[in-house]
């Protein structure tokens, strides 16, 4: 038997090193003052306290997520430089709901074969989003597993860590009847419901990734690969006003009914008026294309509301002004009433 090598098994270490050599520059551009030098280390080091502004009673906030089958759309379109933005957004937006300041991000990338160009494009999106959110890309892992992933397939996962002062943690427990529910505009489908989207668009309607959607003035790829919105700068602008915010929710899979319900305390019920905003046109396009029931649309997708802020009515005007100043459209979509925790649609 001839001498076996790792390359024979599907892992080309030389090609892997080429890919890894491209990543330090992308990580370096996300570096923040609290990243500590550790040449050649096996992990990343990060100083918790801010220079000149230490935390008094810091609480670490962490979250992890993936991108789901939106990855399959990226593979069809052969466009990989934005899916990393989705990855960061899905993790950081979750942590943001507790009022956390993003600190650092870790990514995990698994592929069926070594592909330096693909890896570089994927990590470039992660790097871009880390810069926008003030997160240091502190480390990551790239795994080549030919027996688990077919050639051309890959998966991504992300891990975000943030921090918040214990007495400023926003966990929803202060929500009370009379509070106002603000909905922040999404950028599109974000990263949820893509198994249904793909079934409707590619199987049911037999559209191709490069087909133009006349009513949207864009191709299928452009509509489906629009990155998830990052809400960090907008919410930080709100919190810097020292305003009272009682609760926040990242509207992902499960829609408003499930995600808002997660933060409601005993004695509080949310009433949301589905007629208080106009969903983005891509939702109407998909609903018509797949003959999807309205309730199913609201259960699966964000329907144009990607994030929710719940606050006392006297703070709403200033909050909306801060959000608008960050170019994030927003509107009052409901209120909190007395009742068992849950969400009712009033339209």
pLDDT 10s digits, 293-333 = 999 999 999 999 999 999 999 999 999 999 999 999 999 99
* Gap between the Cα atoms of 157 and 140, Å rounded: 10
Indicate the range of 34-48, 226-240, 256-270 predicted with least confidence.
Answer: 34-48
Q: Annotate 173-237 with three-state secondary structure.
A: CCCCCCCEEEEEECCCCCCCCHHHHHHHHHHHCCCCCCCEECCCCEEHHHHHCCCCCCCHHHHHH
* pLDDT value of position 260: 98
Prediction pTM value: 0.95
Residue 268 in this model has a pLDDT that exceeds 90: yes
Residues of the chain with pLDDT > 90, as a percent, come to 86
* pLDDT value of position 58: 95
Residue 227 in this model has a pLDDT that exceeds 80: yes
Q: How confident is the model over 152-164, as a mean pLDDT?
A: 96
Task: Please report, in angstroms and rounded to a whole number, the separation of the first and last CA atoms in the chain.
Answer: 72
Mean pLDDT computed over every residue of the chain: 95
Indicate the range of 10-19, 75-84, 259-268 predicted with least confidence.
Answer: 10-19
Residue 200 in this model has a pLDDT that exceeds 90: yes
Given pLDDT bands bounded at 50, 70 and 90, which one contains residue 1? low
Beta bridge partners of residue 103, listed in sequence order? none
Residue 52 in this model has a pLDDT that exceeds 80: no
* Gap between the Cα atoms of 213 and 220, Å rounded: 7
* Gap between the Cα atoms of 208 and 202, Å rounded: 7
Select, from the ranges 5-19, 137-151, 324-338, the one with the highest average predicted confidence (pLDDT): 324-338
Shortest CA distance to 157 belongs to which of 195, 136, 126? 126
* pLDDT value of position 242: 66
* pLDDT value of position 19: 85
* Residues near 83 by beta carbon (within 8 Å), at least 6 away in sequence: 67, 70, 71, 74, 122, 125, 156, 225, 227
């Amino acid at each position: 038997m001839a001498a076996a090598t790792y390359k024979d098994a599907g892992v080309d270490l030389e090609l892997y090193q080429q890919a890894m050599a491209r990543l330090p520059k992308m990580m370096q551009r996300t570096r923040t003052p609290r990243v500590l030098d550790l040449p050649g280390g096996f992990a990343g080091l990060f100083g918790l306290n801010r220079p000149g502004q230490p935390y008094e009673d810091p609480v670490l906030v962490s979250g992890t997520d993936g991108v789901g089958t939106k990855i399959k759309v990226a593979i069809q379109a052969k466009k990989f430089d934005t899916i990393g933005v989705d990855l960061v957004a899905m993790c950081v937006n979750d942590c943001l709901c507790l009022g956390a300041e993003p600190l650092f991000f870790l990514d995990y990338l698994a592929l069926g074969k070594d592909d330096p160009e693909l890896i570089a494009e994927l990590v470039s999106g992660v790097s871009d989003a880390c810069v926008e959110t003030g997160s240091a890309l502190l480390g990551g892992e790239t795994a080549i597993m030919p027996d688990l992933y077919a050639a051309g397939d890959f998966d991504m996962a992300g891990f975000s860590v943030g921090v918040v002062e214990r007495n400023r943690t926003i966990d929803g427990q202060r929500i009370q009847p009379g509070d106002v529910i603000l909905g922040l505009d999404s950028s599109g489908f974000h990263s949820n419901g893509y198994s249904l989207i793909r079934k409707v668009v590619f199987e049911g309607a037999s559209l191709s990734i490069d087909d133009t959607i006349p009513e949207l003035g864009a191709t299928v790829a452009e509509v489906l690969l629009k990155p998830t919105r990052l809400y960090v700068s907008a919410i930080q602008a709100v919190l810097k006003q020292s305003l009272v915010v009682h609760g926040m929710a990242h509207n992902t899979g499960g829609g408003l009914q499930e995600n808002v319900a997660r933060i409601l305390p005993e004695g509080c019920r949310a009433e949301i008026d589905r007629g208080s905003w106009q969903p983005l046109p891509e939702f109407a396009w998909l609903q018509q294309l797949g003959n999807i029931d309205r309730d199913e649309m609201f259960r699966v997708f964000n329907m144009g509301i990607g994030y929710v802020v719940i606050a006392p009515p006297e703070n709403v005007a200033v909050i909306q002004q801060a959000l608008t100043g960050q170019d994030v459209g927003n509107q009052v979509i409901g209120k909190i009433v007395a009742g068992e925790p849950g969400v009712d649609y009033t339209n």
